[in-house]
Structure 1
Amino acid sequence: MVLSILAVVLVGMNLRAGITSASPLFVDLQEFLGYGPLVAALLPSIPTLVFAVAGMSTAWIARRLGLGGTMLLALVVLGAGLALRGLPTTWALLAGTVAAMCGIALCNVAMPSFIRQNFADRISLMTGLYTITMSVGATAASALSVPLALAAGSPTIGLATWSFLAFAAALAFLPFLLMARSGEDTGPKPASINPLALIKTKRGMVITGLFTVQSLMAYSMMSWMPSILISRSMNATDAGFMLGVMQAVTIPATMFSLWLVNRHGMLRGAFTMCSVAVAAGLVGMLVLPLSLAWLCAITLGIGFSIFPLVLLVISHSGETPEETTAMSTLAQSVGYLVATIGPFGMGLLYAVTGGWSVPLVLLIVVAGIQLCLGLAASGYRRTTPQRVG
C-alpha cells in the first residue's frame, strides 16, 4: 500500500512538469535555436497530438507488461525524452518532446486503471491525490523553469534537468514489474475490450467530448499563457510565475471539488463551478489590465480543477479495470487528438491576427460547451451504457 501511494505521487509529479517547464521558455527557445513561426506553433501542439496517437497503444502494452510494467516503461521513455531536449538543436527539442510525451501518454491512460486496481475502495481519494501532485509538479516546473535555465546558461539544459524526476519515479515501479512477471500464467488473461466500440454508446460519446474540451482549454492556456502575458510586456520570469500560480490554485480547488462530490454528491455543481470559473478567467485575460493577471490565474486555476472530476467519471465508467482502461483509452486518444486544435490553432491565429483576442474568445465558447457536457456526464451512474441510434 505504501509503495502504491508513493508510485501515484511520483507519477503525478511528472505528468505536467514536462509540459509546463517548456511554456515559459518558448520565447527564449525560439531566440536561442532560431526556428520559425511554424515550429513555434507546432511545439506546444505536440503533447496533445502525441497523447492521442500513443495513448491508443496503452491497452495493448498493459496486457503484455501489466499496469506496473507499463508505467515503468512510460517513465523511462519520459526521462529519456526530457534528457534529449538538453541538446541545443531544434531536432532534439522536437524529438525529445515527442518521446517525453509518449511516456506521459501511457501514464495518462494507465493511471485510472492503476488506481482502480490498487485502491478500489478509495478511488476518489487517490484520484484527488494524483491530480494534486500533478499540480504540485506543474507549479514547480512553471515557477522554476526560467531560473533553472538562467542558472544553466541555456534554455535547453534547463529543460533537461526535469529528466531526473522522471527517472526517480521509474525506480518506484520496479517492484510492480517484478510482481507482474511473478504473476504471469497464474490465470487466464482478461478478455480485451475494443475502446472504439465504446464510442457507439451515449456515455462514451459524452465522456470523450468532455475530456476533449477540458483538454483543449487546459493545454491551450498551459502552452500560451506566458506568451500572452509576455506580449503585454510582462517579463518571462513573472509570466512563468503566473502560470505557476494557475497550477498552484488547482490544488485547493481540486480538494474543494472532490469534497463537494464525496460529501454532498454535487458532481453537477462541481462541473458548473469549474466551467464558469474558466470562462471568467478567459474573459479577464481579455479585458483586465496586466496588474490583475494574478486574478485571471486564480480563476483559471479553479476552472482547471475539472480534470480530477473527469478522471473520476472515467474511473467509475466500467465494471472491471479492463473496461476502465478501454474508456480511458478512448476518451484520451480521441480527446487529445481533437484538443490539438487548441494550442496549434492559437499559435496560428496569433501569427495571422497579431493578437490574442480571437483565440481567447473562441476558448470562451468552448467553456460553454464544456458546461453542457459536464452537466450531461454528472447524471451517469455505473450502469450499462445505452447505444445511440
Structure 2
Amino acid sequence: MQPPDSKPQQQRTQPRGFMVLSILAVVLIGLNLRAGITSAAPLFLDLQEFLGYGAFVAALLPSIPTLVFAAAGLSTAWLARRLGLSGTILFALCLLSAGLAFRALPTTWALLAGTVAAMCGLALCNVSMPSFIRENFAQKTSLMTGLYTITMSLGATAASALSVPLALAAGSPTLGLATWSILAAAAALAFLPFMLMARADRPGAPATSGISPFSLIRTKRGLVITGLFSAQAILAYAIMSWLPTILISRSMAAADAGVILGVLQVMSIPATMFSLWLVNKHGMLRGAFFLTSISAAAGLAGLVWLPLSLAWLCAVVLGIGFSIFPLVLLVISFSGESSEETTAMSTLAQSLGYLVATSGPFGMGLLYSLTGSWTVPLVLLIGVTGVMLWLGVVASGYRRAVVQRVQ
C-alpha cells in the first residue's frame, strides 16, 4: 500500500516561486493561529486588575475563542464560494490584525470586542487551512500539516513566553496584547502576492456550488470526526486558557507560569513530528491516538497530584498530548472526495466542535469559582481524554478506508 501522500493526482507542476509563497503562507499563518490566544493567558490576572472587570468577564474572556470559532466558522464555506479560498484567508488575516490592534485601548469593552474580531479571523483560517493544504500540497498533505501545526506551536510558545515581558515593556497589559497584531499584519502582507499569483494561475476556475456541512452531520463519520475535534478542543483550550492561572494560584510567578505554558507548546513540536512519523512510515494512526490521549491524561493527573516543582514535567507530558491536533486535521483532510467536501467537513467539525469546546475554559473558570479548587475541573478533563481516545480509535478506521479508496 502506498503512503497517503503519494497518491496520484492530476495536478499541474507549479512554478517554484508559487510553491515558495505557498510554504511561506503556511508558516506565517501557522505562527498566528494560537499566538492571539496564548498571549492573553499569562495576563488574565493583570488584565482583570488593570481594567477592573468582575468574575463573569474573567470567566467569559477565555471562552470567547471557542464561542467565536463555533459561530464564525459556519460562514467559511459561504465566504470561500464568494471570495475564493485564498481571498477568504487574506480577509481573515486582516480581520485578525485589526482585532488584535483594537485591544490596545484600555477598556473592557475594547478588550472583548477586539478579542471577538480577532477570533473571527482565526476561525476563518482554522476552517480554511485543511482545504488550503489539500489544494496546494495534494501530494504532501501530511508533511505540510505537520509544518502547519509545528509553526502553530512555535507561535504559541513565543506568545506565552513573551507576553508578560512585552506587557511590562509596553507599560500596560492591553498594549502588550496589541503588539501581536504586527505578526498578523506581516502574514497578511506576505500572503497577498501568493493570492495574486494563485488567481493568475487559475483565471478560469469555475465557481463551485459547495456542499452543506449540515448534510454531513447525518452521517456516522461526520458525528465521529466532530466529536473527536470537540474533545481535543475542550482539552486544548481549557489548558491554554487556564494553565498559567492554575500555576499562579499555587504561588508561581506570572512570568514563570507563562514559560511553563511555553514548555508545553515547545514539547508539542517534536511530539507532532513523532506522531506524524508513526502515521506516515508505519500507518499507526490508532497507536498515535493512544499515545497522545494517554499522555494528556497523565499530564492532567500530574497537575492534580504532583508538587508545583514538577509542573514542567506535567507540561512536557501534556505537550505530547497536544500533538493529537495534527492527527485530527489529517482525518479531516482525507475525509472528503474533493476540497469542497473537505471544507464542509472542516466547517462542521470545527464549528460544532468549538461550540462544545466552550464548556472547557468557561466550565473550568466557573467550577473554580464555585469550589475554590482546580481539582474537580482537572479530573473532569481527564474524563475528556478517555472520550478522545475512544473517538480517535473509531476515526482511525476511517483513515484506512480513505487511503484504500485513493490508491
Q: Does 1:356 align with 2:378?
A: no
- Asked if 1:66 corresponds to 2:84, the answer is yes
Tell me what 1:377 maps to. 395
Residue of structure 1 equivalent to 2:252: 234
- Alpha-carbon deviation of 1:184? 7.8
Matches within 5 A, 1:91-170: 91-170=109-188
SS in structure 1 of the partner of residue 398 of structure 2? coil
Distance 2:270 2:208 in 1: 38
Alignment of 1:146-295 (within 5 A): 146-179=164-197, 182=200, 186-295=204-313
Q: Give distance in 1, aligned partners of 2:388 and 2:361.
A: 17
- Tell me the equivalent position of 1:387: none
Query: Aligned partners of 2:199, 2:305: CA distance in 1, in Å?
Result: 57
1:317–1:382 Cα contact (<8 Å) kept: no
Letter aligned with residue 183 of structure 2: L
Q: Any gaps of 5 or more consecutive residues in structure 1?
A: 385-389
Following superposition of structure 1 onto structure 2, how do residues 331-342 of structure 1 map, counting pairs within 5 Å? 331-342=349-360
Among all aligned residue pairs of Structure 1 and Structure 2, give the percentage whose two residues are the same amino acid: 76
Distance 1:51 1:67, change over 3 A: same
How many correspondences in the alignment?
Answer: 384
Is 1:312 the counterpart of 2:321 in the alignment?
Answer: no
Q: Against the structure 1 CA distance between its residues 106 and 382, is the aligned structure 2 distance closer, same or farther, given a 3 Å change threshold?
A: farther
Specify the alignment match of 2:320 in structure 1: 302
Task: Kindly provide the amino acid, as one letter, of the partner of residue 375 in structure 2.
Answer: S
Q: Which residue of 2 aligns with 1:49?
A: 67
Counterparts of 1:24 and 1:137, CA distance in 2? 15
Say which of 27, 38, 45 aligns to 2:56.
Answer: 38
Q: Is the 8 A contact 1:66 1:180 kept in 2?
A: no
Give the residue type in structure 2 aligned to 1:251.
Answer: I
Tell me, yes or no, if the aligned pair for 1:146 and 1:240 is still in contact at 8 Å. yes
Contact 1:142 1:240 in 2 (8 A): yes
List per-residue Cα deviations over 1:332-379 (Å, max 9, x = no partner).
000000100110011111111111011001001111110100000011
Q: What SS does the aligned partner of 1:380 have?
A: helix
CA contact (8 A) 1:316 1:382 kept: no
Give the TM-score normalised by the residue count of structure 1.
0.97
Normalising by structure 2, what TM-score? 0.93
Give the deviation of 1:271 after TM superposition.
Answer: 0.3
Q: Distance in 2 between matches of 1:382 and 1:81?
A: 41
CA distance in 2, matches of 1:337, 1:299: 26
Root-mean-square deviation (Å) = 1.2
The answer as to whether partners of 1:17 and 1:140 remain within 8 angstroms in 2 is yes
User: Distance between the aligned counterparts of 2:71 and 2:198, measured in 1?
Assistant: 26
In structure 1, what is the Cα distance between the partners aligned to 2:393 and 2:26?
29
Using the alignment, how far apart are the partners of 1:252 and 1:184 within structure 2?
Answer: 37
Q: Quick check: 1:69–1:180 contact (8 Å CA) kept in 2?
A: no
How many angstroms apart in 2 are the aligned matches of 1:66 and 1:179?
Answer: 13
Whether the 8 Å CA contact 2:81–2:209 is kept in 1: the answer is no
- Spell out, residue by residue over 1:287-311, the C-alpha distance to the aligned partner (whole angstroms, 9 max, x if none): 0000000000000000010000000
| Mapped contact 1:350–1:359 kept (Cα < 8 A) | yes
> Could you list the runs of 5+ residues in structure 2 that have no partner in the other structure?
1-18, 403-407
Provide the rounded CA distance (Å) in 2 between the counterparts of 1:185 and 1:261. Answer: 37
| CA positional deviation for 1:383 | 5.1
